[in-house]
Structure 1
Amino acid sequence: MTQIKFGSFNGICEQAALIVCPLVGSAQGIEPTCYSRNVQIGSTLIFQPAASFIHIVAIIMTLIMIFHVRSKYTAVGRKEIVLFFYLYAVIELLAIFLDSAIIPTSSGVYPWFTAVYTGLVAAAYMCLLINAFIGFQFAEDGTPVSLWGLRIACFVAFGVSFFVAISTFKGFAGMSYLKPTALWIIYLIWPVLCVLVYVVLQLVLVVRTLDDRWPIGDIVFGVAFFAVAQVILFAFSNVICDSVKHYIDGLFLFQLCMLLSVMMVYKYWDSITKEDLEFSVGSKAAVWEVKDPLLAGGRGGTEYAEDDQSNYHQPGSLVGGVSGGQFYQSHMHGYPPQGY
């Protein structure tokens, strides 16, 4: 079991090969006790191939979720939640290059890309946190106030986290990779706080405003996947790695569980949002029941070709109480009379 100390990555990085581990703890970083086997493709050595495969799957699944979110044109919070999935897709794309060492840890740009990755992770959790308040309509969703408030909050979270990370890696602004306390808080504590607030607010939203209780199941599964991911990474990564002879490690299962938790965020949002069919632009044509006879075809509508056999007659004129057509029809003559 990993001994996690506040502000220290030593115990965590010995258990799990996090992206920040080569940049903290010492000048050479902290090496995990056990990690998955590498794969050589041509002249390139690929680290963490199993985790990289999960990153690719996550990008594909996220694009599918984004497509479905954007197709719900009138759903509440559509524009706000889709930003979360965009951020997650960019994080997974960047993680492919950092986890696999396509960008080598010895490279001069690795700290900068890692700082960007750290900032994006913090911004994604900030986005999830803000989305927790969307359902309470403190600001109407989709309006400039809501969208720009969300974007500014995410940008601030990104900027602060990026600055803390690069300052820790480079050792300026009073920070150091030997004591990365601020980075530790942003990297480990901030995500847990955001998830906790999101879950509590969504439970309150479902219980107080919705008649359906099934979305609670989506929340429970999402929290379960998130919790299992942390336990696997920080407690059993080395055990898993040794058991399967270095073919995979805890990072693979961690990324898989995190993908499932993100998918449950989408599933929950989809289950509590309904489209206004009057304004939706779906691919399926809506079937409407026409109750107004003036709007129906055939009798009573705009088609009069089959009305010859009905008992309907035009109303009588105001003179004499009978129309000219009725008068001549009653005398077996056509209308108008012959010769006119």
Structure 2
Amino acid sequence: MSVDTGFKFGSFNYFCNQIALSMCPLVGPETGVEPSCYSRNIEIAGTLIFEPATLVIHLIALVMTCIMIYHIKSKFTAVGRKEIVMFFYMYLITVVLEFFVISGIIPTAWPGFKYFVAAHVSMSITTLWCLLLNGFVGFQWAEDGTPLSLWSIRLSSLVIFGISYFINIMTYLEKAGFSKLNPTALWIMYFIFGAAFILIYVVLQIVLVVNTLDDRWPLGDILFGFTFFIVGQIFSYVLSTKICEMAKHYIDGMFFGTMCSLLAVMMVYKYWDSITKEDLEFSVGGKSNVWEIKDPLLSDDGLAAIGNEGPYEQRRF
């Protein structure tokens, strides 16, 4: 049975023909849609590992994300510290889930595979939703770090995850009126909503920098991040087959797409770091008069006078 791999609204056939998205074995025809060209598999301990080069980028992404989380948590007085770190935690979970579902470690034939894929796709959407909400933190709609700010992100993210997971799993199981032959709702959630979350976040940050900051350099960080994201989509969905054929199946577009996604996330961190103030703990050493003595009793002359009075002499104030 031939599969129409042309672009069609609501169909994953075109995208799955380019790269091996995690949901590709579960949507479309009974056996899913395979890429026309994909990177070589390797065998480790009797297990076939798919996309080995991309998995290396995932491992690098895990390390880099942990480093970024560490630096964010070390900036104790930074605005939006607790809010932005939630985005990086979600990205970390997304990378871990993607590592397992695209590598073949969790086999596609296993009945539980669809539940992991639903979790991965839902976590991807939820991560972008969390990024969008972080875009409002700088406008101080609620004081950052307060329960209102934190729990609004947590609870709304939980709702988005639940809705996305329901759409995913019902599509794969073909229940509640959803169909994997026509996964329009899942397609809209994955592509339209995801792109909208990113675009709105970028626009919000441009408005924030232009209207509230004197420094325009953070615009470069956010625009670089957005450029990396766009380039990653081009590598994944436009150039993947050509890259795969030119590289003789050693790598494909997913390798460069994942790399660009990591760079985009790193630019989000760089942008946030550039618009937040330095911590007092780490700026003390750079200021010569931070500990300037204002009380005359604690000056050199005052201390000398106190020493001459004797330790037990009564003082009048």
* Both structures adopt the same fold (TM-score exceeding 0.5): yes
Give, in angstroms, the shift of residue 76 of structure 1. Answer: 0.7
Residue 246, structure 1, aligned to residue 264, structure 2:
no
Equivalent-residue separation in structure 2 for 1:55 and 1:39 (angstroms): 16
Cα distance, 1:302–1:77 mapped onto 2, change above 3 Å: same
Greater helix fraction, Structure 1 or Structure 2: 2
Deviations 1:280-304 (CA, angstroms, capped at 9, x unpaired): x449756552253737653x24135
Equivalent-residue separation in structure 2 for 1:174 and 1:118 (angstroms): 20
Please show how residues 1-150 of structure 1 align to structure 2 within 5 Å. Answer: 3-150=6-153
Provide the residue aligned with 1:302 in structure 2: 303
Please show how residues 232-243 of structure 1 align to structure 2 within 5 Å. Answer: 232-243=235-246
Provide the residue aligned with 2:311 in structure 1: none
Equivalent-residue separation in structure 2 for 1:286 and 1:296 (angstroms): 23
Provide the residue aligned with 1:337 in structure 2: none
Give the alignment partner of residue 167 of structure 1, picking from 138, 156, 170: 170
Secondary structure class of the residue paired with 2:296:
helix
Provide the residue aligned with 1:151 in structure 2: 154
What amino acid is the match of 1:131? N
The answer as to whether partners of 2:114 and 2:169 remain within 8 angstroms in 1 is yes
What amino acid is the match of 1:143? T
Give the alignment partner of residue 294 of structure 2, picking from 289, 292, 295: 292
Equivalent-residue separation in structure 1 for 2:211 and 2:283 (angstroms): 34
Residue 216, structure 1, aligned to residue 219, structure 2:
yes
5+ residue gaps, structure 1, are: 308-340
Secondary structure class of the residue paired with 2:30:
coil
TM-score normalized by structure 2? 0.91
What amino acid is the match of 1:160? I
Secondary structure class of the residue paired with 1:40:
strand
Give, in angstroms, the shift of residue 180 of structure 1. Answer: 0.4
Equivalent-residue separation in structure 2 for 1:79 and 1:201 (angstroms): 19
The answer as to whether partners of 2:226 and 2:264 remain within 8 angstroms in 1 is yes
Provide the residue aligned with 1:178 in structure 2: 181
What amino acid is the match of 1:273? T
Secondary structure class of the residue paired with 2:77:
coil
Cα distance, 1:109–1:304 mapped onto 2, change above 3 Å: same
What amino acid is the match of 1:243? M
What amino acid is the match of 2:38? Y
Give, in angstroms, the shift of residue 122 of structure 1. Answer: 1.0
Percent identical pairs in the alignment equals: 53
How many residue pairs get matched?
302
Equivalent-residue separation in structure 2 for 1:265 and 1:180 (angstroms): 31
Give, in angstroms, the shift of residue 26 of structure 1. Answer: 1.1
The answer as to whether partners of 2:75 and 2:279 remain within 8 angstroms in 1 is no
Give, in angstroms, the shift of residue 187 of structure 1. Answer: 1.3
Give, in angstroms, the shift of residue 43 of structure 1. Answer: 0.9
The answer as to whether partners of 2:68 and 2:269 remain within 8 angstroms in 1 is yes
Cα distance, 1:235–1:295 mapped onto 2, change above 3 Å: farther
Equivalent-residue separation in structure 2 for 1:283 and 1:67 (angstroms): 18
CA RMSD of aligned residues (A): 1.9
The answer as to whether partners of 2:293 and 2:299 remain within 8 angstroms in 1 is no
Give the alignment partner of residue 227 of structure 1, picking from 225, 230, 244: 230
Higher Cα Rg, which structure = 1
Secondary structure class of the residue paired with 2:304:
coil
Equivalent-residue separation in structure 2 for 1:187 and 1:75 (angstroms): 32
Give, in angstroms, the shift of residue 4 of structure 1. Answer: 2.3
